[in-house]
Chains A and B, each alone.
Chain A
Amino acid sequence: MVPLRIHRARIAQYKHDQLLREYLKQNLNELIQQKELVIDGRVKTQIATLDLPTLRYGEEATVLAQGKGAAGGDGTRGGRDGGEEEVQALGGLLGGDHHGRELRVELDFDEFVRLAQEVLLEEIHLPPLHLSAAAGEVESEDMPELDDLDRIGLRPDLNLEETMLQSLLRSVRERGMLDYDVDLRQDGWYFIEDPTTYRNHRSLEVYVLDISGSMRGEYLALVRKTIFVLWYYLERRYPTNLRRYVVFQDVATEKVRDDFFCVESSGGTHISTGFEKAMALLEGTTEYDKFLFLFTDGETSSGDFDLAKRRYEEALRRFDLICYGHVNPGGRGVGGFSEYVHEHARRHPNATFANLVDVETIRAAMGDFLTILTREQSRGLAAALRADH
C-alpha cells in the first residue's frame, strides 16, 4: 500500500494562489490594459507585495557577479545585461531554504486567463458552467491500463504510436534505459493536428480586433475582459473549437494568440479590412459552425463606410453568427458604423450587437452573444445562463 503523503508545499502553493487571485482582483484593470500583455507566454506583473517585504538594494547598486560563460551560475535569477557579454548576479550563494530570496511571480498566460475568468465571473455575477456528464458516464482519477495498441476503449483519442515514442524518450532521458514504461500523465499524446491545415467538422471562432489609434487603455481592457469571459463558456462547451485572430487598422493581418494580446494601437480605421480578412480565413475550410467576434469603436474612415457595410452583409452570409462588440467605455452613445450594425442586428437572425460600456455590460453581451450560440448549439449552456438571468 502506498503511504499517504501530505503535500504541505502544495497546500502552501494553494495559499500563494489565493493571494495571487486577490492581487489580480485588485489590479486586473491595470494589468489587462498593458499594451504587451503576453511576453514569451507570460504576463508582466509587478507584484512586490507577493514577496515577503524584506529590504533590498536598488537596481543601480553594485553587485557580486560572474561572467555567464564561467560556470552554471548559482541557479538563481538575477541576470543583468553587462553590455558586450552577459553578467550573472551572484545573489544567492546561500543555500538552505528559499527564505530571503526574491520570489518572482511568473504568471503564464493560461493561468492569468483562468484567474481573470474567476475574478470576472464573480464581479459580473455570471454563473459558472457545470456541464453534467452524459448518462452512464463516471469520472475517475485512475488512469487506464495501457497494455496493447487497441484504439478502442477509454481513450480512443490517444495517439498510441506517439505515446509509446514519448514514453521511450522519457525513459532514455531519465533513466538511460530503452524501456516502455508508459505513464499517461507524462507521455499521453493525443491527436492534435495543425489547426491551419486540419479539415474536419470542428467549429471555428474568429476574433477580430480594431487596433486603430483610439483603441487603447480602457477600450482594450473591455475587449480583453469580454474575450476572457467568452472563452470561459465556449471552451467548456466546445473544447475543440479552432480559434484564429485578426487585427486591423488601415489593413488587417492574422496574428497568433499571444501576438493578438500584444498590439500597438495606431493608424486609421478600415473596418472593411477586418471583415475581409476574417472571410479569407474561411477559404478551404469545411467547418460548419463559423463564428465571428469583432470588436471596434465603430469609427471607420468615412471613405470606408459603404465598403464596410457591403463586407458586413457578405460576412453575414458566410458566417453562422457575427457578434459585434461596440467598444464604448465612456458610454457616449452608438454612432458611426456601429449604429448601422445595431440597426441591422435587430433584423438579422445571425447578427448580434453588444454595446460594451463597462464590466456590467459584458454580462448583457454574454446573453446576447451566447443565447444565440446556445439556441443553435447547446441547450445545456442556455439553461446555465438563463438560470442566473
Chain B
Amino acid sequence: MDSLQRYAPIIERIEALARSRGLSFDPVYFRLTDSDEIAEVASMGLPNRFIHWYWGGAYKELVAQQNKELFSILELVLNTRPSHAFLRAGNTYLQNVLVIAHVFGHLDFFKNNHWYRKSNKNMLNEAELHARLIRRYEGKHGREKVEALLDALLTVATTVNAFERDPDVRRRRLIYFLEERAPLEDYERHLLQSVREEAEYFDLIQRTHIINEGWATFVEAELLREILDPQEWVSISVQLSSRPAPYTIGYSLFKAIRDGRGFDAALDARTYYEDVMLIQDALTEELIRRLDIFVYDPKEKQKSYDVQRVRDMLIDQKEHKGQPHVEVEVGHHRDLTLVHRDEERKLEAKRIALFLRAVHSLWRNPVRLRANGKVYSFDRRGFSST
C-alpha cells in the first residue's frame, strides 16, 4: 500500500505554489485510505455522524456503483478546522496529485469564502456529540420511538436555509416553524435542533456546490499547468472537462470570469459569491449551449436553452434542494397548512400521504397541504384529499 510519506514532497510543493498565487488555508490532515472508508464518509456526510438506515442505503448504493466501476469517489475533504482530506490508496500517483491540487482549491474556498467563514468548523465534534446524545435517548425513550422521530425529522430537515437570518422568512420554512411551535417534549426538541444544525451545515455545502467544485477544479488546473509536463497536462485538461456537471459548470464559469476580467476577479468571485450569485453573474447563453444545459419538458419532449429559464431553474434547485417549494402558512392556528408555491409543476401523489404523516407525527394536530389543485389532509383518522 502507498504510504502518505510518498506524497509529502508534492503536497509541500503544491501548497507553496498555491500560496504564491494568493490562496490561503487552514491546517489540513491528509489521510490515505481505501474506497470503502471514502464511500462510508461520503454516504454519511461526516465520519462520525449518528447512525441512520438512510445513510446505510446511500452507502450500499455507492459501494454497488463502485464495484461495478460505474462511479467512484476520487477525493473527499471536510470543511472543519483543521480540515481532513482523504486520498484513495487505489488511485494512481498522478490521480492523487490531481486530488491534492483540487483539495487545496477547496481549502482556500473554505477559508476565504464569505459564506464559509460563518460555517460551523467544529462540526466533527458536534456530530459526535449528537450521535452520543441519540444513543442516550434511545436507551432512555426506546430505540423504535427515537428512530421514528429521526425519520420524521430528516424528512422535514431538507427545508432548512443556512443563509436566511430574517426570522419571519425563516418561519415559513417547515423545520423552523416546527422548532418554534410544535408541541414537542424537551428531548424531541433537542433532537430536532441537532438534526437541524447538521442539515444547515450541509445546506451551506449544497448551496455552494457548483462554485466550490468549480473553484477547486479551476485551482487544480491553474496549479497543475505549472507542475506537470506538457504531455501529462494535455491528458489532464481533457479529463477536467469530462467531470460531473457541478465541476464542469463551475469550472467553465470561473474560466469565463478570468478570461473576461482577470484572475483577481475570479478571486473576488470565490470570496463573495455562492452558487446563485455565480450563476446570475457568469452564466451566459453561450455557456449554456456549450455545456448543453437546458430545461426539459418530458411531456412535450422539448428542450429550452432560454438563459433566464435555465438560470431560474438552477437557482430554484439551490433554494429548495431540488425539492418542491412548500411554505408554511404562518398563523396561530391549531391546524398546520402548507402550500406548494409552484402549482404548475405537479407533485408525486404517492409521497404526499407519507410526507404528511411524518409532519403530523411532529405537529400532532391536523396537517394540510395545498398542491396539485387539491387539499390533502392528515389527522388522527388518517389521510384524505379533497
Contacts and interface: CB of A to CB of B under 8 A. Distances in A.
Co-assembled chains A and B: yes
A157 interface: no
A74 B244 contact: yes
B332 interface: no
Interface residues of A, number: 65
B177 interface: no
B56 A90 contact: no
Interface stretch (A75-83, A201-209, A287-295): A75-83
Interface in A108-158: none
Of listed A74, A91, A97, residue having the most chain B CB within 10 A: A97
B346 A95 contact: no
Contacts, number: 238
A65 B301 CA distance: 12
B295 interface: yes
Given A58-B346, A82-B301, A103-B58, A12 B323 contact: no
Nearest to B201: A96
A13 B56 contact: yes
Query: Range of interface residues on chain B?
Result: 35 or more
A175 B346 contact: no
A50 B56 contact: no
Contact of B209 (A5, A89, A93): A93
A98 B44 CA distance: 7
B13 interface: no
22 contacts: A5-B37, A9-B39, A9-B56, A12-B44, A12-B53, A12-B55, A13-B59, A15-B56, A48-B350, A48-B354, A50-B57, A53-B355, A54-B155, A56-B348, A57-B345, A63-B295, A64-B313, A64-B317, A66-B294, A83-B301, A90-B317, A97-B202
Nearest to B33: A5
Interface string B229-267: 000000000000111111011000000000000000000
A96 B158 contact: no
A4 interface: no
A70 to B, nearest CB: 4
A251 interface: no
Given A55-B355, A57-B345, A90-B293, 15 more contacts: A5-B37, A7-B40, A8-B55, A9-B43, A48-B351, A53-B155, A65-B295, A71-B244, A72-B243, A73-B244, A90-B317, A106-B61, A175-B2, A175-B90, A176-B94
A76 B233 CA distance: 28
Interface in B347-376: 347-352, 354-355, 357-358
A99 B54 contact: yes
B272 interface: no
B59 to A, nearest CB: 4
Given A11-B51, A73-B245, A62 B345 contact: yes
